[in-house]
Amino acid sequence: MKKERKTALSADPARLKAHFERCLQAQYVHTAMGGDYAIETRGNTLYLLFEWSDGGEDWINNLDFPATPYRRMEQTWFCHRGFLRVWRALRDEVEPAVESMLHRRPWIREIVCIGYSHGAAMAVLACEDMTFLYGKRLEVSGYGFGTPRVLWGPIPRVVKSRLSAFYATVCVPDLVTTVPPKWLGFRDVGIRVEIGAEKGYAPVHAHYAQSYLDALDTQIRENTAETVKTAVGVPDKS
C-alpha cells in the first residue's frame, strides 16, 4: 500500500507538470556531443535535467539506433547506440558535477532525473546510473516526457529495479515514444503514465511540448473536479 501511494503521488499530474516546466525552463550546459544538461537544487533535492533535441548532432544520434552493450555484468545489457554514445560523453561531466554538489550540500536526500524527447533518453540512462552510484544512500527517481525507447533485448532484473522509479509520461499517441519499434527488439522501461488521449492529437503533434502542457492541465482539472465531487459526496453515476 505504501508503494502504491508513493507511485500515485509521483505520477500526480501537478507534480508531473512542475517537473516538465522545470525541464523546459532550465539553463543548460551545452556539450560537443549534443547532450545538454543542467543541475539544480531545491531544498534537499538535486535535479538533473536534460534538454530536448536542438540541433543536427542530436538527430544524428537519435537515428543511430543499432543496439550496443552498456554495462558488462553477469548479464550484459544493450542500449540504443546513439543515445549511449551521448550519455557516455555526458557522464564524464555529469558524475563529477553531481558528486561535487553532494559534497557541498550534504543535506541532499534525493536525486531526480528529468528529460524531454532526446533528453528523456538521457534521463533514463542517468536514472540508472545515479541509482547504481547513490541508490543505497539517496532516493533516486526519473521523469521522461516523450521518451523514445532506449534499452534493447532482455533487460536484467537489477536494471529493471534501478528504473522502477522512472515515470515515462506519454501524450497519446506521441510518435517518438514508439521508436525505435518493439519489433526491432527495443523495450519500454519504468512506469508508463498516459495523458492526452481525449485530445485527439496527431502522432507528431502529440510530441510538442505545448501538447504535453495542455494535456497535463486537462488532467489536473479533471483530478480537481473528482476530488471536489468526492469531498461533497456527489454519487458516481457510473
pLDDT tens, 111-160?
999 999 999 999 999 999 999 999 999 999 999 999 999 999 999 999 99
Does residue 173 have a cis bond before it (omega within 30 degrees)?
yes
If residue 116 lies in a helix (H) or strand (E), which one and from where to where? strand 110-116
**Buried-exposed string 30-65: b where 16+ CB fall within 10 A, e elsewhere:** ebebbbbbbbbeeeeebbbbbbbbeeebbeebbeeb
Domain boundaries, the chain: 2-231
Q: Is the pTM of this model over 0.75?
A: yes
pLDDT the model gives residue 66:
65
* Residues forming beta bridges with residue 141, ordered by sequence position: 112
Fold topology of 2-231: Rossmann fold (3.40.50)
pLDDT tens, 149-199?
999 999 999 999 999 999 999 999 999 999 999 999 999 999 999 999 888
pLDDT band at 238 (very low <50, low <70, confident <90, very high): very low
pLDDT the model gives residue 52:
86
Distance separating alpha carbons of residues 104 and 121, to the nearest angstrom: 28
